[in-house]
Amino acid sequence: MANHQANYHSQIIYPAPLQAGDLIGIIAPSSGLEAEIHHLIHRSTAYLHQLGYQTRVGSSVWTNDKCVSLPKEQRAAELEQFLLDDQIKAIIPPWGGEFLMDILPLLNWEKIRQATPTWILGFSDISTLTFTYTLMTGYASAHGPGMIDISGADDDLTIRWQDLLSAVTGDQVEQHSSAYHQTHSDYSKPNFNLDTPTEWKILGQEDQPEASLELTGRLIGGCMDVIAALIGTPWSPIPDFMQHYDQDEGFIWYLESCEMNAAAIYRHLWQMNQAGWFQHTRGVLIGRPAGYTPVKNFEIQDALQAVLGEQQIPVIYNVDIGHIPPQLTLINGAIAHVQTANGSGTVQQILR
């Protein structure tokens, strides 16, 4: 198999800005869709056409068995084909899944590094891909809504994915926290049910409603459930990446979770810390945890405090990231300036 070692450029490289008429690929490198929900893909392609884009739908989106769309060899071949096709300007999977890590050793990373950068947008298990893509190539990628969420939402935050993917290198894009978020998902309905007030919180200052915090650093992150599984593998060269791109700004980690209780979140954070992932870290953003429960009286705040608080790394949690929509679109590799006060916040990203 081709060389797995990362070989970086002097600066983060951003894919070409997405423009009307561009071709967007829709593939499922993790989980696909069963027949009874194929209408969601038709909805997605119609929505992108309405925005002025062309689409190419891969064979992987139409099937799902044992938590994956297709066998790993077919998923890897399709993804590589789409990444190496210069006509495809962005890849937006429908959603995440469970086992995207299986295809990472099957990809020809040398060819991918030599190819024209492609935007990849998604969250959940797709962050296994976006995280690794940026770490292995130095090409920016985007953590944000998947194709099903994009085509089924009309809120002011979800629609900002287009502003980020169409930004030119050097641009600054600002996003604001949501006013409300959704507590229960229902893909049968066309839009999110944003029924719960959003409140960003600062770790250790929960009893100070007027507390404020500012963070600046280069963004990197994803879904803890899946990216922590990459620790100790060739697909997570965090020390090399941070050493190469730490140009005095340091890093801001953004992390979200799905199906983890407070103890599991602690174990994942502990492992990441022991692997040295939080060196050069100026702050951490934690998304609203989905499927979360405390373990007796051990809460997520205890997990955050035990790992990050002890190192005096500032933490903002309940941020608009991940499985409880709406969510920010965050660019792996971009410089971010984050501000929060009175339970709301802004994230300004600079593509440099």
The pLDDT of residue 187: 65
Distance separating alpha carbons of residues 194 and 196, to the nearest angstrom:
6
- Say if residue 324's pLDDT is above 90: yes
Q: How confident is the model at residue 9 (pLDDT cuts 50, 70, 90)?
A: confident
The pLDDT tens digits of the residues spanning 166-191 come to 999 999 999 999 999 998 877 667 78
% pLDDT > 70, the chain = 98
The per-residue pLDDT for range 115-157, each reduced to its tens digit, is: 999 999 999 999 999 999 999 999 999 999 999 999 988 899 9
Per-residue pLDDT at 5: 64
* Mean pLDDT value of segment 39-64: 97
Res. 1: pLDDT tops 50: no
Mean pLDDT score of the chain: 95
Domains of the chain: 23-169 (3.40.50.10740), 175-350 (3.50.30.60)
> Of 96, 92, 47, nearest to 322 (Cα)?
96
Residue in 41, 47, 46, 48 with CA at minimum distance from that of residue 27: 41
Q: Strand, coil or helix: what is 313? A: coil
pLDDT in tens, 196-237: 999 999 999 999 978 999 999 999 999 999 999 999 999 999
State how far the Cα of 315 lies from the Cα of 22, in Å rounded to an integer: 38
Q: Are 242 and 280 in contact (CB under 8 A)?
A: yes
Sheet arrangement for strand 88-91: 54-57, 23-26, 88-91, 119-122, 141-143, 330-332
For the stretch 266-289, pLDDT in tens is: 999 999 999 999 999 999 999 999
Write down the H helix ranges in the chain: 39-51, 72-83, 109-114, 126-137, 147-151, 161-165, 224-227, 238-245, 262-274, 300-307
Write down the pLDDT at residue 2: 46
* The pLDDT of residue 29 is above 80: yes
Task: Tell me how far apart the alpha carbons of residues 192 and 14 are, in angstroms, rounded to a whole number.
Answer: 30
